[in-house]
Structure 1
Amino acid sequence: MSIRLDHWILLGVWVLSFLLLFFIPRDKRRLALIAYLFKQSITYLLGLVAVEYGFLEYPVRELAKVNRTSFTYEYMAYPVICAVFNAYYPVESSRLRKFLYYAAFCTALTIPEVLLERYTELVRYIHWHWWTTWLSLLVTFFATRSFCVLFFKNISRYTKETKSP
């Protein structure tokens, strides 16, 4: 795939990420913002570790002289999707439904990454596999959700807990 097309894909991801922000309900915007910022901090650290230790690389990327990770993925797309994940999280559902919610988001992010790895120069697996992506997504989604629950522990619309008197 040509480098030019890779850049168009990156632009498309930015546009799609901005559009997703419009689907966050007004009453969940604070939750989404906290999830977005927390996810950025996680992906910044883990992305740097993964690249520096040679697990994967991003041959075509933005800010190539500044950072070896994918700015689009680590700082925009993944955090935005995590914000949406938390805004629509099924708080009152069963554990099975919650796990399926996690699994759906992890799978929905892993499949495009595998396709990008196979057909573009946007990501290249070195010592990485699709299941590594899936598990790392699961762990970081869980960490972000846990942080949001703790951050908003007294606000019942975000968690099952009610306000303390």
Structure 2
Amino acid sequence: MNIELMILIGSIAFTVLILPLLIKRDRLLDALISFSVMQAMTWLFGALVVEERLIEYPADFFNFATRTSFTFEYFIFPAVGAIFNVHYPRGSSRFVQALYILGIPGAITAAEVLIEHYTKIIDYVDWKWEYSFLSMTATLLLSYGYYRWFIGRIRRSRLPEV
């Protein structure tokens, strides 16, 4: 088994294991909404980036079906978005919120840079790590905004219990 396959399988396994630990049953609806919204956004943004040949994913699952990163864009990053939204520190100071907003995409970008440099999973063709950081930050914030709006509508529309 090559290093790329080990990283991809390990990333999926880690995500599968950590999701039930970080998403409690009472927040499952919130997580599922967030996951679905993130999948829609990452599909669109990922497809645009790949079609413009800014990034290539030489080693990934389902390369015969899509040139985007199935592992990251359809599973790992949507899972990160679900965790991001469910655990967003709403009651904390702006400083803590800024650390949260910048820390999560910062950690993912750092991992992506290492993966890009040392493996064949991702190849920056006409791309820079700064673009990844900014696009992930924007995507997480858009997802959180939609999540708050959608969950607010659901909670307001529920009939009062008798």
Q: Aligned equivalents of 1:72 and 1:98: distance in 2?
A: 28
User: Which digits, 9 at most, give the CA deviation of each residue in 1:42-93, with x for residues without a partner?
Assistant: 0001101000101110011111111001100001110111111111111111
Alignment of 1:65-80 (within 5 A): 65-80=64-79
Give me the TM-score of the superposition, normalised by structure 2: 0.91
Matched residues in 2 for 1:21 and 1:137: separation? 19
CA contact (8 A) 1:13 1:77 kept: yes
Q: Does 1:38 align with 2:37?
A: yes
Deviation string, structure 1 residues 91-147 (Cα, Å, up to 9, x no partner): 111222212111110111101000000000000001111110000011000000000
Kindly provide the amino acid, as one letter, of the partner of residue 142 in structure 2. Answer: A
Equivalence for 1:92: 91
TM score, norm. by length of structure 1? 0.89
Equivalent-residue separation in structure 1 for 2:98 and 2:7 (angstroms): 30
* Count of aligned residue pairs for this structure pair: 157
Give the SS at the match of 2:139. helix
Matched AA of 1:13: S
- Unpaired segments ≥5 residues, structure 1: none
Which of the two has greater helix per residue? 2
- Aligned alpha-carbon RMSD (Å): 1.8
Structure 1 segment 1-165 matched on structure 2, within 5 A: 4-23=2-21, 24-153=23-152
Conserved? CA contact 1:48–1:69, under 8 Å = yes
Q: Equivalents in 2 of 1:124, 1:87: separation in Å?
A: 31
How high is the sequence identity, in percent, across the aligned residues? Answer: 35
Which 4+ residue blocks in structure 1 deviate beyond 2 angstroms? none
